[in-house]
Amino acid sequence: MNLSKDTKIGVIGLGSMGQPIADNIIKAGFQVVVSSRTKKTLDYFKNKAIIADSPIDVIEQADIILFVLPTNKEIEEIVSAANKRLKNKTLLNLSTISPKSSVELNKIIKKFRGEYVECLISGSRKPAIDGTLLLLTAGSTKKLDSFSDLFNSFSRKTVHCGKIPNASKMKLANNLLLITMFNGLMETVNFARQIGLKEKEYLEMIDSGPMSNAVFKSKYQKILDNDYSAQAPLRLVYKDTRLICDLANEYGISLPLFTNHRKLLKKGFDSGLGDLDIISIVKELKNR
């Protein structure tokens, strides 16, 4: 059974991903409840959504609440402050957090008789705007099945990963490969530049052969234009490397290649590239 369009959907976190996700949910006909400390964001949603006074007020007004926040700390602070207001609410985490944090959130929300499911998003701002994100879910299958219309409003496919925190684990496994691909692409672009090849011809060669893929395609024009505006901010990618390495250490897994990628991203972060796109790591490669 799908959700009624009278169901109120709260979105907490209206940044580069949360805003377009909220937009697409509104376009699908759902009532959306939001809050923001930024006047520009409030003005944007003024005639589109129900404006709440705070994240806690979003939880009070909404039936289902989506968290699209950068870190588990922000989510945990809101959930802990909400306490008894969580009763009969369903909270969905869309953010990349550690599996341990996801388990802890589940415990807190259950304690106050709410329900928690993982609904992690894979994709950057462009697919968020287009409504073509990939969703990685974990938790009650029955509950998740009832959200199909909601999920379809901002995603192209949903992969159910089983019990909590398997979606968080799946997202980190996905990002391990994704980060390796991004760093590999920019290292080879820098290599091609340094040996005198034309970037356009090099990228056309990649796109015409067996290495062509959607991840690389999403960056080609940005590379050619030296456009480092953030689709996937380096600071968030670097944050994910910590989560991945922590999980690997917990399971005794060696990540020799990825460890070097993390070191490179740390240098980029420390040199002030955090708010730029991941492809800006080429600046760090140039300086070596």
Model confidence pLDDT, tens digit, residues 215-226? 999 999 999 999
The confidence score (pLDDT) of residue 104 equals 96
- pLDDT per residue as tens digits for the range 76-100: 999 999 999 999 999 999 999 999 9
Give the pair of three-digit tokens for residue 72: 């588990």
Q: How far is residue 213's CA from residue 200's CA, in Å, rounded to a whole number?
A: 16
**Beta pairing, strands 50-51 & 155-160:** unpaired
- CATH class held by domain 8-164: alpha beta
Question: In whole angstroms, how far apart are CA 32 and each of 24, 45, 69, 197?
Answer: 10, 10, 17, 50
Q: How far is residue 60's CA from residue 274's CA, in Å, rounded to a whole number?
A: 34
Q: How confident is the model at residue 286 (pLDDT cuts 50, 70, 90)?
A: confident
> Tokens 């999920």 appear where?
151
Where exactly are the structural domains of the chain?
8-164, 169-286
Q: How confident is the model at residue 5 (pLDDT cuts 50, 70, 90)?
A: confident
Flag the least confident range among 1-15, 147-161, 165-179, 255-269: 1-15
- pLDDT per residue as tens digits for the range 227-264: 999 989 999 999 999 999 999 999 999 999 999 999 99
H or E element, residue 239:
helix 234-251
Find out if CATH 1.10.1040.10 is the number for domain 169-286. yes
| Phi/psi at 159 (5° precision) | -110, 115
Instruction: Report pTM.
Output: 0.94
The confidence score (pLDDT) of residue 2 equals 78
Helices 166-194 and 199-208: crossing angle in degrees, nearest 10, is: 130
> Tokens 């009070």 appear where?
60
124 vs 27, which has greater pLDDT? Answer: 27
Average pLDDT over residues 18-41: 96
The confidence score (pLDDT) of residue 158 equals 97
Q: How confident is the model at residue 101 (pLDDT cuts 50, 70, 90)?
A: very high
Q: How far is residue 26's CA from residue 225's CA, in Å, rounded to a whole number?
A: 33
Share the mean pLDDT of the chain: 96
Statement: residue 288 has pLDDT above 80: no
Q: How confident is the model at residue 1 (pLDDT cuts 50, 70, 90)?
A: low
Question: In whole angstroms, how far apart are CA 75 and each of 12, 67, 162, 174, 242?
Answer: 9, 7, 22, 22, 18
- pLDDT per residue as tens digits for the range 183-205: 999 999 999 999 999 999 999 99
